[in-house]
Amino acid sequence: IGQYLMTLPQHLEMHLSEKQAPLQFLSEVCTHTCEVYAEKILNIRNMDALGTKRCLNDIVYLSSVVEDLGSTITPSLKNLEKSLRAAAPSQPAE
């Protein structure tokens, strides 16, 4: 989903006349994306260690994309990330 979010600004510029409107719309899209993603993760009934790791990687990636677009992930997704990190098995030292 990150790659699609990254292309939104160039598509919005063509269709929205006010300068601030694309940024406002983009911020709302980022917020909604984070909310829906957190909701979907919370609906997973059984998550093994690999699933937890994948979700954490996805949250980090989404956070990076959202920050590149000038926004931040929602507090609920940030809290979910913290909870998943606490539940994740420790990684062996390399």
Per-residue pLDDT tens for 21-61?
A: 667 778 888 999 999 999 999 999 999 999 999 999 999 99
50/17 Cα distance (integer angstroms): 45
Task: Please report which confidence band the pLDDT of residue 74 belongs to, taking 50, 70 and 90 as the band edges.
Answer: very high
Q: Tell which residue, 40, 23, 31, has the closest CA to residue 62.
A: 31
| Model confidence at 93: pLDDT above 50 | no
Burial class (CB in 10 A: 0-12, 13-18, 19+), 12: middle
Burial string for 38-52 (b: 16+ CB within 10 Å, else e) reads beebeeeeeeeeeeb
Task: Please report which confidence band the pLDDT of residue 14 belongs to, taking 50, 70 and 90 as the band edges.
Answer: low
pLDDT above 90 covers a percentage of the chain that reads: 54
